[in-house]
Amino acid sequence: MSCAIGIVNKDGVWIGSDSAATTSDGEIRPFIAKKIFRNGKYLFAYIGSVRGGQILYPAYFKPPKDISLLIDDIIDQCQEKGCLGVDQEYQTQVHKCNYLVGYKGKLYEILVDFQLNEVLNYTSVGSGAPYAFGSLHTTGKSKLNPEQRIKLALNAAAKFDTATAPPFVIEKL
């Protein structure tokens, strides 16, 4: 499942991710997944289904000009590309991805049930997230810049989570 991390402050939005690809059984796939990419004015990162992330690449998806429309457009894209499931307990549409989104100086997370959350300082998604959160919390008042904090958090996640692995990619919006 991996790990993606986002930090937002007055200077911008930083998103970092590992590049590992694994199956639900933990099998390591022998390729590097491009989990962070730009599409228009958006910076996206994803964890989970590689296909679920790829359907938002610029070649396949045109994001809306307003973040409030993004969820419906992603759901439409998932339906069109066959990437939706149903949560059996709640009977709601779900996706096998979590996304981090940078847009107009703000950071958002979109979780598997398509809830859109604006992030105040930092967040992390994926199986490595608990380790990343610990690192981000500890470095919160340090003099480290956001990129350094993300690198440390990704390294912590990779140390303790078998589905998180380098190379690490960090982008600023």
Nearest partner of 128 among 107, 151, 98, 158, judged by Cα: 158
Radius of gyration (C-alpha) of the chain in whole angstroms: 15
Who wins on pLDDT, 143 or 24? 143
Domains of the chain: 3-172 (3.60.20.10)
pLDDT at site 74: 95
Euclidean distance between CA atoms 67 and 69, whole angstroms? 5
Segment 151-171 shows an average pLDDT of 96
Convert the pLDDT of each residue in 78-133 to its tens digit: 989 888 877 778 777 778 899 999 999 999 999 988 999 999 999 999 999 999 99
Say if CB 76 and CB 85 are below 8 A apart. no
Neighbours of 53 (CB within 10 A): 25
Who wins on pLDDT, 6 or 29? 6
Segment 65-82 shows an average pLDDT of 93
